[in-house]
Amino acid sequence: MDRILITGALGQLGLEFIKYFKKSDTFVLATDIRNPHEKLSCEFEKADVLNKERLDLLVKKYEINTIYHLVAILSANGEKNPFISWNVNMNSFQNIVEISVDNNIKNIFWPSSIAVFGTDSNLDFVPQNPSMNPETIYGVSKLAGEKLSSYYSRKFGLDIRSLRYPGIISTDTLPGGGTTDYIIEMLNAAKNKSDYTCFLSKETRLPMMYIDDAIDAAVKLMSVERKKLTISSSYNISGFSITPSELEDQIKSRGFNIKINYKPDFRQEIANSWPKEIDDSSSIKDWGWSCNFGLKETLDKVFS
């Protein structure tokens, strides 16, 4: 039986993982640096992931055998304070690896991001292994994490599995300071019948994924036999790609009459170094990835 520790469990993805594991009655210990607003459906312990001793104690106390390490300072917040971003993203990764080695935990899920690429990567359709020169501290830390995943897996026999998530769309849980947050903000503005000022230009095409696909993909990747996996860094996965103006058209075609203004800020530069489309053929071939939510299905869910 899996006994899962989730770090960063109160964030956009963590709360959705908790909901998912609740359905299968899997034991989950949720941890975060802050307290939950509402009672969770699983165990919760407040813990700073930079406090290795506390995490080690919790891993022993709850007999954890699998870790979903979700803590990160995301792209836009990272650019406001690169030193904090590097410290949190890398030292938390290091702590999780050390605790896993010390407690004989082999199974770790750690999300990477489309931020690992950069303008050398053929952004129109990014392959699995292009030349990568990320332009944000977030992307640099994710790429370093990917390299460390391969290294530590070889060195210590760990089984760290990873996906390069695109922008994740969920409207129940709020985004945590990334460059793709506009899509959730615009959808929520439509639902609340309020106007919206978009921080990216109309024509900025970025890859996105509905939250249910993001969770299913992680769980599926974690369940596949290791010998089927040919990538030890992180797998490309893809949902659909969209621009803010295409999203505006879609929202209006569904009868929402909101006014959208465009006022690009510092996040535009980040978006310019991110992919437009992703080649996820290695995921399809190795572990049977398939996306259930295209644009239409995603919007049907969001507005249902």
Ligand X SMILES: NC(=O)c1ccc[n+]([C@@H]2O[C@H](COP(=O)([O-])OP(=O)(O)OC[C@H]3O[C@@H](n4cnc5c(N)ncnc54)[C@H](O)[C@@H]3O)[C@@H](O)[C@H]2O)c1
What residues make contact with ligand X under the rule CB under 6 A?
Answer: 7-8, 10-14, 32-34, 48-50, 70-72, 74, 88, 111, 113, 165, 167-168, 175-176, 178, 180
Helix 82-102, helix 137-156: angle, nearest 10: 10
**Token representation of residue 52:** 């290795």
Distance CA 48, CA 92 (A): 9
* Minimum distance, C-beta of residue 200 to ligand X, in the bound complex (Å): 14
Q: What is the largest CA-CA distance in the chain?
A: 56
* Minimum distance, C-beta of residue 190 to ligand X, in the bound complex (Å): 19
Nearer to ligand X, 98 or 257 (CB): 98
**Token representation of residue 151:** 């290294």
182 catalytic per annotation? no
* Minimum distance, C-beta of residue 14 to ligand X, in the bound complex (Å): 5
Distance of CA 145 to the CA centre of its chain: 14
* Minimum distance, C-beta of residue 58 to ligand X, in the bound complex (Å): 12
Nearer to ligand X, 28 or 253 (CB): 28
Q: How many CA atoms lie within 13 A of 277 on its CB side?
A: 4
Distance CA 79, CA 76 (A): 5
Helix (H) or strand (E) holding 73: none
* Minimum distance, C-beta of residue 178 to ligand X, in the bound complex (Å): 5
Nearer to ligand X, 88 or 105 (CB): 88
Nearer to ligand X, 130 or 177 (CB): 177
Question: Among residues 68, 138, 152, 196, which one is catalytic?
Answer: 138
Residue 252: count of CB within 10 angstroms of its CB: 13
**Nearest CA among 149, 177, 176 for reference residue 235:** 149
Nearer to ligand X, 261 or 269 (CB): 269
196 beta partners:
260
- 139, 118 contact by CB (below 8 A): yes
Nearest residue relative to ligand X (C-beta) = 11
Distance CA 234, CA 280 (A): 11
**Catalytic center residues:** 138
